[in-house]
Structure 1
Amino acid sequence: MSRTIDYYFAPQSPWTFLGHERLLQLLRASRREVRVLPVDYGRIFPASGGLPLPKRAPQRQAYRLVELQRFADHLGVAMNVQPRHFPVDGNPAALLITAVAQHDGMEAALRLAGAVFAACWREERDIASEGTLAELLAETDLPPERLADAHAADTRARYDAHTQAALDAGVFGAPTYVVDGELFWGQDRLDFVARKLGI
């Protein structure tokens, strides 16, 4: 049995935001390690039959907003389901989180990821902006040079490798948690993750 949970997500995913704090609680309770793996769903959706939000049918887009508000209310998570800066390119934040994971470790990457999610879905900030990302590094006590590291070729290679690993594992949506080789798609599956972890 592996001690590590693989955490696949997109930084702009509202569902990942809704589940992030609960995942942190499960990690603490289970004493499992985690691999923080932002991935490019622009590659995953075409390979898995998914559609980016603007291409989905109007009724699906409308119901998504209902469900987001429903879950936010149920979970007690403050959230703007139609933030000013959305849709937004998640790649800059994904590369930054990847760089932080590489240089500062997974706990730091989790901390930054949580700040990125909140910036998008609670604070009306543009997570594709280098200025915003620089602010988030400062707010999470991380080195400012990570912005430069995010543009490095090895960071891009790691991000591409995460995405390929997600495809190989059968990931098709965000967030996806992989525990001992078993996939759990969606923050609403965290109760099943807890059972898998024996919590």
Structure 2
Amino acid sequence: MSRTIDYYFFVISPFAYLGSQELERIVREHGVQVNVKPIEVKTVFGETGGVPPAKRPKVRQDYRFVELRRWHEARGLPLNLEPAHFPVLDALAAGAIIAAGRNGSDSLTLAHALLRACWAEERDISDAATVGAVADAVGLDGAALVEQARKEDTQAEFQRVTREAIDRGVFGSPWYVVDGEPFWGQDRLDFVERKLAGPVR
């Protein structure tokens, strides 16, 4: 029986970006299904006590940069510590990922491409032309996805999944759930993989 990962993340999260390719590897090698669930950062932080990076005490901001440098070197991924387009509104990019999943397209690959666009390519993923171009580059119909992303039902789904995440105890990004067990942070992907290698419980 195939295992499933519920993957909750902010589309402007650097740590989701840094873990994204490793997640893709785990999904591929273990043959698991992944439910790709972008969630709204403002709502999650607002309801769970999170603080945006720019509003955190300087010592916390400084250590965040230490961790970002550490993990971008460990993962071998390019990273701009202070990208030109961060933070930006997340609704359009999230909507495109949701629309891709509804269409049966590869929403995980699109999610990584949008994260990379923000954190390595200095692109504005709140911009419709950018979101469409990123989708086109991974073989999807960017214009159609942007149109679907803007629709009321797609944005309602974004809010529904955000509420679902909060109700399940999610307070950060990325967040993975396997067999009901939560894992917060891309630095917990080794534990996710161990969980997948073990028996179903």
TM-score by length of 2: 0.93
Q: Give 3-state SS (helix, strand or coil) of 1:104's partner.
A: coil
Is the contact between residue 2 and residue 31 of structure 2 (CA under 8 Å) also seen in structure 1? no
Name the structure 1 match of 2:29.
29
Name the structure 2 match of 1:182.
181
Measured after TM superposition, the shift of residue 92 of structure 1 is: 1.5
Name the structure 1 match of 2:115.
117
Q: How many residues align?
A: 197
Is 1:163 the counterpart of 2:162? The answer is yes
Give 2:186's aligned amino acid.
Q
Q: Whole-Å Cα distance in 1 between the matches of residues 2 and 52 of structure 2?
A: 33
Q: Give 3-state SS (helix, strand or coil) of 1:63's partner.
A: helix
Segments of 5+ residues of structure 1 without an aligned counterpart are: none
Is the contact between residue 174 and residue 184 of structure 2 (CA under 8 Å) also seen in structure 1? yes
CA RMSD, 1 decimal: 1.4
Is the contact between residue 177 and residue 183 of structure 1 (CA under 8 Å) also seen in structure 2? yes
Measured after TM superposition, the shift of residue 189 of structure 1 is: 0.3
Name the structure 2 match of 1:12.
12
**Residues 21-41 of structure 1: per-residue CA shift (max 9 Å, x gap):** 100111112111010000012
Q: Whole-Å Cα distance in 1 between the matches of residues 83 and 47 of structure 2?
A: 28
Measured after TM superposition, the shift of residue 115 of structure 1 is: 0.8
Give 2:5's aligned amino acid.
I
Call closer, same or farther: CA 1:2–1:172 in 2, change over 3 Å: farther
4+ long deviations beyond 4 Å: none
Q: Whole-Å Cα distance in 2 between the matches of residues 197 and 15 of structure 1?
A: 21
Is the contact between residue 176 and residue 184 of structure 2 (CA under 8 Å) also seen in structure 1? yes
Is the contact between residue 2 and residue 180 of structure 1 (CA under 8 Å) also seen in structure 2? no
* Aligned pairs for 1:63-78 within 5 A: 63-78=63-78
Measured after TM superposition, the shift of residue 54 of structure 1 is: 2.0
Give 1:157's aligned amino acid.
A
Seq. identity, %: 45
Is the contact between residue 97 and residue 110 of structure 2 (CA under 8 Å) also seen in structure 1? yes
Measured after TM superposition, the shift of residue 2 of structure 1 is: 7.1
Q: Whole-Å Cα distance in 1 between the matches of residues 112 and 54 of structure 2?
A: 25
Is the contact between residue 183 and residue 192 of structure 2 (CA under 8 Å) also seen in structure 1? yes
TM-score by length of 1: 0.94
Is 1:60 the counterpart of 2:41? The answer is no
Measured after TM superposition, the shift of residue 3 of structure 1 is: 2.4
